């Protein structure tokens, strides 16, 4: 029997069928108007089959990493396509497994060249793999995990400061040379990307800029060590749809929290603050209740940007 628009299901039935708690359902309805349930003669919410179907799709989309604020207004057909894409991505074919093994081998070679301080060898290896995989896949599969490995080895004393600086400098030069698209895509939404004052590790921000550009965004890449006010002003003047901030070393946590709150308050309505990087995990609570999204990886950033671009 096809779904109908007749309101006949109490909230308990909806919660059981969608996996959403009654509290979450009420918040989604109040903040995002995801569905418009009727009231029974006793004043209780009652939902139709169509309501349940839409809520189930929204639940699957949010489980796939999309913020509810970015998918709540999607039509049913767009939601269905988004969910299909999410679930297809979860099915890891043998080709992806093979690529993962290959990427691991490339990262191992890159680490050897870093330890040997061989700039020509490292640059050639990275450029070959950009040509092989394309910039977007290169960032996800090689550049980002390579940077994490370099950082981990530096923190553990397995790499010297010189080797860490060498690796990040070569990678930044290769990505910058290969990605003139960082100037942006005409007609796409704008994102401003950089790091906050005191944060001089800009490679994560550069990777995010390349990722955003590959998703069709017009990227304004500001680099490292900028006051929050200047980032906010740039976003306002360029009518940016999003601000991306990379946090690697959150040593001065109170300052980073204050700067992020300043950004969140200064943004114009409809602008989203995207925060990522290894140092961002400790800052989540400081932005609760704001239009902010924390992303754990470049793949998660790509998913979030794709959803936001769809809603523009």
Checking if the pLDDT of 236 tops 50, the result is yes
Checking if the pLDDT of 185 tops 60, the result is no
Q: Report the distance separating Cα 257 and Cα 22, nearest Å.
A: 32
Q: Does some domain include residue 124?
A: yes
Checking if the pLDDT of 125 tops 90, the result is yes
Checking if the pLDDT of 42 tops 70, the result is yes
Last residue of a domain, one of 126, 161, 178: 178
Q: Report the distance separating Cα 201 and Cα 190, nearest Å.
A: 23
- The structure tokens listed for 131 are 């040509």
Whether residues 190 and 170 share a domain: the answer is no
Q: Does some domain include residue 1?
A: no
Q: Strand ranges (DSSP E) for 95-177?
A: none
Domain containing 127 — which CATH number?
A: 1.10.1240.10
Q: Strand ranges (DSSP E) for 54-208?
A: 190-196
pTM: 0.58
Q: Which of 245-249, 269-273, 284-288, 302-306 comes out lowest in average pLDDT?
A: 284-288
Q: What pLDDT score was predicted for residue 251?
A: 58
Domain containing 294 — which CATH number?
A: 3.40.50.280
Q: What pLDDT score was predicted for residue 114?
A: 95
Q: Does some domain include residue 44?
A: yes
pLDDT digits (tens, 9 = 90+) for 62-113: 888 788 888 888 888 899 998 888 877 766 555 455 567 788 899 999 999 9
Give the count of beta carbons closer than 10 Å to the beta carbon of residue 39: 10
Whether residues 50 and 114 share a domain: the answer is no
Q: Report the distance separating Cα 129 and Cα 191, nearest Å.
A: 27
pLDDT band at 287 (very low <50, low <70, confident <90, very high): low
Exposure on the CB side of residue 61, measured as CA atoms within 13 A: 28
Whether residues 120 and 218 share a domain: the answer is no
Could you tell me how far CA 88 lies from the centroid of its own chain? Answer: 19
Average of per-residue pLDDT across 137-152? 84
Whether residues 261 and 293 share a domain: the answer is yes
Q: Report the distance separating Cα 102 and Cα 63, nearest Å.
A: 29
Last residue of a domain, one of 128, 160, 178: 178
Whether residues 243 and 271 share a domain: the answer is yes
Checking if the pLDDT of 1 tops 50, the result is no
Residue in this structure with the two tokens 């009231």, named with its chain if needed: 39
Whether residues 290 and 230 share a domain: the answer is yes
Dihedral sign computed on CA atoms, order 108, 114, 117, 118? positive
Q: Does some domain include residue 3?
A: no
Q: Does some domain include residue 132?
A: yes
Checking if the pLDDT of 181 tops 80, the result is no
Provide the b/e sequence for 173-201 (b: ≥16 CB within 10 Å).
Answer: ebbeebbebbebbeebbbbbbbbbbbbeb
Last residue of a domain, one of 60, 75, 90: 90
Q: What pLDDT score was predicted for residue 289?
A: 65
Number of independent structural domains in the chain: 3
CA-CA-CA-CA dihedral for 222, 299, 31, 289, to nearest 10? -60
The highest-confidence range among 51-60, 213-222, 284-293, 301-310, by mean pLDDT, is 51-60
Whether residues 166 and 232 share a domain: the answer is no
Whether residues 171 and 189 share a domain: the answer is no
Q: Does some domain include residue 81?
A: yes
Tell me what the pLDDT averaged over the chain comes to: 83
Whether residues 173 and 270 share a domain: the answer is no
SS3 of residue 92 by DSSP: coil
Average of per-residue pLDDT across 36-63? 88
Q: Does some domain include residue 32?
A: yes
Whether residues 17 and 85 share a domain: the answer is yes
Domain that holds residue 65: 9-90
Q: Does some domain include residue 202?
A: yes
Are 156 and 148 a contacting pair, CB within 8 Å? no
Whether residues 166 and 280 share a domain: the answer is no
Average of per-residue pLDDT across 288-309? 80
Whether residues 114 and 30 share a domain: the answer is no
């Amino acid at each position: 029997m096809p779904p109908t628009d007749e309101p006949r299901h109490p909230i308990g039935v909806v919660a059981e069928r969608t996996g959403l708690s009654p509290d979450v359902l009420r918040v989604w309805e109040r903040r995002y108007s995801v569905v418009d349930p009727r009231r029974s003669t006793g004043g209780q919410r009652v939902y139709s089959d169509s309501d349940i179907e839409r809520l189930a799709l929204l639940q699957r989309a949010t489980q796939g990493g999309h913020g509810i604020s970015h998918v709540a207004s999607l039509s049913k057909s767009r939601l269905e396509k988004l969910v299909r894409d999410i679930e297809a991505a979860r099915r890891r074919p043998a080709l992806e497994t093979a690529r993962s093994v290959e990427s691991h081998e490339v990262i191992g070679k890159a680490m050897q060249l870093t330890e040997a301080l061989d700039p020509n060898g490292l640059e050639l290896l990275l450029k070959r793999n950009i040509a092989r995989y394309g910039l977007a896949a290169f960032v996800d599969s090689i550049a980002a995990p390579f940077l994490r490995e370099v950082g981990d080895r530096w923190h553990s004393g397995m790499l010297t400061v010189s080797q860490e600086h060498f690796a990040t400098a070569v990678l930044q030069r290769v990505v910058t040379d290969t990605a003139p698209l960082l100037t942006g895509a005409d007609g796409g939404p704008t994102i401003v990307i950089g790091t906050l004052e005191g944060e001089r590790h800009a490679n994560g921000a550069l990777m995010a800029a390349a990722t955003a550009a590959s998703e069709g965004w017009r990227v304004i890449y500001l680099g490292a060590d900028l006051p929050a006010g200047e980032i906010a002003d740039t976003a306002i003047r360029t009518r940016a749809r999003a601000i991306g901030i990379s946090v690697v070393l959150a040593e001065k946590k109170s300052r980073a929290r204050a700067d992020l709150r300043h950004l969140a308050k200064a943004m114009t309505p409809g602008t989203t603050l995207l925060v990522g990087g290894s140092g961002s995990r400790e800052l989540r609570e400081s932005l609760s209740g704001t239009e902010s999204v924390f992303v754990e990886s470049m793949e998660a950033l790509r998913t979030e940007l794709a959803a936001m671009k769809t809603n523009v």
